[in-house]
Amino acid sequence: MNFSPDPFSEGLSFEDHLPCEIESRVELPSLAERVRLNDRNFSLLKTHALEDYQRRDIDYELEGIASEIERIDQKMNLITELLCDLLSAEAQIPTPRPLAISMAGLQLRPATGEVYHEGDWVILNLFLMQGVPRPLKLVATVVPTHDKALAAPESSTQPLTFSFVDLSDGASSLLGRLVFRHHRREVALKRAQSGEADVAP
């Protein structure tokens, strides 16, 4: 069983508002279930990574084929969006909430009735892709909150810190790339906002 006792001590993290539901478990899910969840998460993270794919320059001889592929891709995207709309109407997706994510864990402030203690087992249902009613299902354990990765007033509720358990190499790699991309955008946005403040009269 692998997990970090302090998932925000090293590496990058980012903050966002995303739907996330905490599913309590009495004990660590079985190895077979953890393997299935890792496969599911890898597939979803791989799909999410494709959203940032940028089209490369196409050779002149292949432009016709590329145009046909793009036309089919647009149709598939429309079908996928319509299917997601239908499923979202039936799914009970939780309200987005502020949270911080690193490649090793997640931190959020507990809602009313969410009481967890160090060592508790959970599955975090994290809806990562907007409009897609299929969450990441991350096996995690509650660990002590060493640092507040989630920015908030001092008077606010103490955040809960969860450390991902037995994340596969593939899922961990894709999650790390996602965290890096979002962190980079977060930094760029803060720099842009800082620049606007500097030039404001």
Residue-wise pLDDT for 91-142, tens only, equals 678 889 999 999 999 999 998 888 999 999 999 999 987 767 788 999 999 9
DSSP state of 177: H
SS3 138: strand
Is 71 a residue whose pLDDT tops 90? no
Q: What is the dihedral of CA 182, 185, 191, 197, to 10 degrees?
A: -100
Q: How far apart are CA 130 and CA 134, in angstroms?
A: 10
Question: Of 64-78, 89-103, 137-151, which gets the smallest average pLDDT?
Answer: 64-78
pLDDT over 90 percentage in the chain: 44
Give the sign of the dihedral formed by CA 139, CA 141, CA 146, CA 152: positive
Residues pairing with 45 in the sheet = none
Higher per-residue confidence, 94 vs 25: 25
Q: How far apart are CA 138 and CA 25, in angstroms?
A: 12
pLDDT over 70 percentage in the chain: 74
Give the pLDDT mean for 182-197. Answer: 76
Q: How far apart are CA 137 and CA 125, in angstroms?
A: 5
SS3 16: strand
Give pLDDT, residue 72: 74
Higher per-residue confidence, 167 vs 152: 167
Q: How far apart are CA 22 and CA 110, in angstroms?
A: 10
Query: Which value, in Å, is the radius of gyration of the alpha carbons in the chain?
Result: 19
